[in-house]
Structure 1
Amino acid sequence: MSKDRVYRSPAGISGGVLVLALALWLGIDALVSGDGNTRWKALAALVFLVPLVAAYTVRPAVFANDDRMRVRNPLRVIVLPWAQVESFRSAYTNEVFSEGGGKYQLWSVPVSLRGRKKAARQEDRRAAGGSVGRRRGGVLGGMGQFGSRAGGAGAAAVEADGPVRAEADKVMDELRELWEARKDAAGSQGEVTVRWAYEIVVPVVAGAVALGVLFGVG
């Protein structure tokens, strides 16, 4: 099996890390200096908030190789062999559709309308004879915003032999190309599988129940 291409959003990750740091700081302070039910409420809030924030910021990722794509969303993990992919759609969100009628949002590849507008302006300037520099490098060990050829959160991808594209649209183009090339391959057959992320769901539910009980009893 070929090595996975990984697409994540450093903007989401960095925002999530900041929120988690703030939550931990406030929660630990309440645990240390609080009294009575305050400490229990702080503990329950941490059990509820930390996995929930991590699920929607740090966790999302798309892994793609020659056989299949694996979509790790906040609360589910979806594995789609290329033969089971019907189409991709990019509008206000990026989505993949399966042959069985399933629709799955790609949380780690958020659409940036600002990025699209920036790409359109750069393409207009290039068409008018201006120069648009090639972006290189990234923030994840040479990986960039979503994968091996991506830049910042609203950056525009520049190809010497093609139009300027917003980064999320560039990622979707790469996924479509890989799907088109591999959907009929023998290794790309199989069934779609969906698994709930119980490692996220269980502590979130437990924390929510604990908070409800603590606030209910005062």
Structure 2
Amino acid sequence: MTTPDHQSPAPRPPASTAASLVYRSPLGLVAGVLLLALIGWLGIDALIAGHGRTPWFALAWLILLVPLVTAFTLRPAVFSGEDRLRVRNPFRSVSLPWGEIASVRSGYTNEVVTDSGAKYQLWAIPVSMRDRKKAARRQSGAGRPGRSGGFGMFGGAGAAAADHDGPARAESDRIVADLRTTLDRRGTAETAQGEVSARWAYEVIAPAIAGAVLLLILLATG
């Protein structure tokens, strides 16, 4: 499931007047924090208590793993503004004016397709086939008396959303539908025109390469 940055783990856009909505994966955030804590604990312990070449190996692994774990868990986000959609993926950030977006597609992955045919995956909005199956079961049982169609601990919010917002859908599909609505509304706006720009995340790539090089040197000279 995916949620705006400042909400609970139910991935619904916040009721906010802010210039943009921020979507991130709560599971990715939790996994990232736990992995970084584990890597930091093991790595720092090896740096302090290790002997011989162990501290150097620990340093190399820290330099390599910390940026990679951060890139794939904490970094991904989708920023939906009035004039553009900004996609922050593990190794690249892409700024797309709504006027340059042809469609927002949802299949086994969620992606944005530009007028030129370029495709950019939305890492922060992963597709959950399990959630889709749950939504389909809720929809099929929506008209039966005595069926709550709930979502477990999020059943109240999920059922209410299904009742008021139409057919039950997986939360990632709801977010994609919201992005499509914004595209339809802002795609022809004068301020939503421009060029697509992309930037590589050198702050992630550079330290990861440095850690890999140091690790290779240590292995080659061992």
- Checking the alignment, whether the CA contact within 8 Å between 1:115 and 1:156 is kept in structure 2 is no
- Checking the alignment, whether the CA contact within 8 Å between 1:119 and 1:156 is kept in structure 2 is no
Q: Corresponding residue for 2:80?
A: 64
Deviation of residue 104 (structure 1)? 0.4
Q: Which portions of structure 1, spanning 4 or more consecutive aligned residues, are displaced by more than 4 angstroms?
A: 133-137
Q: Specify whether residues 136 and 27 from structure 1 end up closer, same or farther in structure 2 by C-alpha distance, changes over 3 A only.
A: closer
Letter of the 2:47 counterpart = L
Q: Corresponding residue for 2:213?
A: 209
TM-score by length of 1: 0.87
Q: Specify whether residues 213 and 170 from structure 1 end up closer, same or farther in structure 2 by C-alpha distance, changes over 3 A only.
A: same
Segments of 5+ residues of structure 1 without an aligned counterpart are 138-149
Letter of the 1:77 counterpart = S
Q: Specify whether residues 156 and 85 from structure 1 end up closer, same or farther in structure 2 by C-alpha distance, changes over 3 A only.
A: farther
Aligned equivalents of 1:2 and 1:211: distance in 2? 44
Question: Which deviations, in whole Å up to 9, do the C-alpha atoms of 1:114-134 show, x marking residues without a partner?
Answer: 000011111111132434459
Question: Which deviations, in whole Å up to 9, do the C-alpha atoms of 1:182-213 show, x marking residues without a partner?
Answer: 00001100000010000000000000000000
Aligned equivalents of 2:81 and 2:152: distance in 1? 24
Aligned equivalents of 2:198 and 2:129: distance in 1? 30
Residue of 60, 73, 79 corresponding to 2:95: 79
Q: State percent identity of aligned pairs.
A: 54
- Checking the alignment, whether the CA contact within 8 Å between 2:162 and 2:168 is kept in structure 1 is yes
Q: Specify whether residues 121 and 65 from structure 1 end up closer, same or farther in structure 2 by C-alpha distance, changes over 3 A only.
A: same
Q: Does 1:43 align with 2:47?
A: no
Q: Specify whether residues 79 and 171 from structure 1 end up closer, same or farther in structure 2 by C-alpha distance, changes over 3 A only.
A: same
Equivalent runs, 1:1-218 vs 2, <5 Å: 3-129=19-145, 130-132=147-149, 158-218=162-222
TM-score by length of 2: 0.86
- Checking the alignment, whether the CA contact within 8 Å between 1:78 and 1:194 is kept in structure 2 is yes
Deviation of residue 157 (structure 1)? 5.2
Aligned equivalents of 1:159 and 1:71: distance in 2? 31
- Checking the alignment, whether the CA contact within 8 Å between 1:115 and 1:167 is kept in structure 2 is yes
Q: Corresponding residue for 1:140?
A: none
